[in-house]
Amino acid sequence: MIVGLGNPGKKYARSKHNIGWMVLDRLMKDHSVSPARLKFEALFGEARIKGERVMIVKPMTYMNHSGRAIRALADYFDIPHGDIFVIVDDIDLSFGQLRIRKSGGPGTHNGMRSIVDHLRGEDFPRLRIGISDDHPRGDLAGFVLGDFPKALQPELDELLDRAAGAVEDYLARGIEYSMNRNNG
């Protein structure tokens, strides 16, 4: 299961917090996948990417309740937590930096906290994508819910390509390879 975190609605479509969905959109375009089903508070579809059968998932619960949808799908389709790969924004990483981890805590990210709480554990791989070089220390919600500046569009497109490639590396050659190739 490849999960991108984001918020539903046109208002949030280009927000920094929705970069997980943007990466999924890039993967779906590159592999002709359509998230055609809406069930368990998630939009999802199935595809073959790099020889692996995967489920592409966009929780429709809003960011802070993402774990509800992920847990329901994982339980229904009997997907082990170690096979749930989450793509998420990270305000503490510089814009464009990728960080893949096998497991770990949620940090300050409420969407990740929801997943950890609902799965009752931290043992699932994730791709954290840096969205900030200099964010305001006060109004974090306003910052992450704001759109990427138009001037960053070329760099954002390149970042989405690299992040989609990191997911493909994970699917084709495993977590260690993807970490070694993409972290930094």
The Cα 44–Cα 60 span in angstroms is: 10
Calculate Rg over the CA atoms of the chain: 15
Q: Which of 17, 81, 109, 118 is catalytic?
A: 17
- Could you confirm whether 81 is annotated as catalytic? no
Q: List the strands of the sheet with 98-101, edge to edge.
A: 37-39, 42-49, 52-59, 2-4, 85-90, 126-130, 98-101
Cβ–Cβ under 8 Å, residues 183 and 45: no
14 burial level (CB within 10 Å; 0-12, 13-18, 19+): middle
In the block, residue with structure tokens 């995967």: 54
The Cα 178–Cα 72 span in angstroms is: 27
Q: Point out the residues that are catalytic.
A: 17
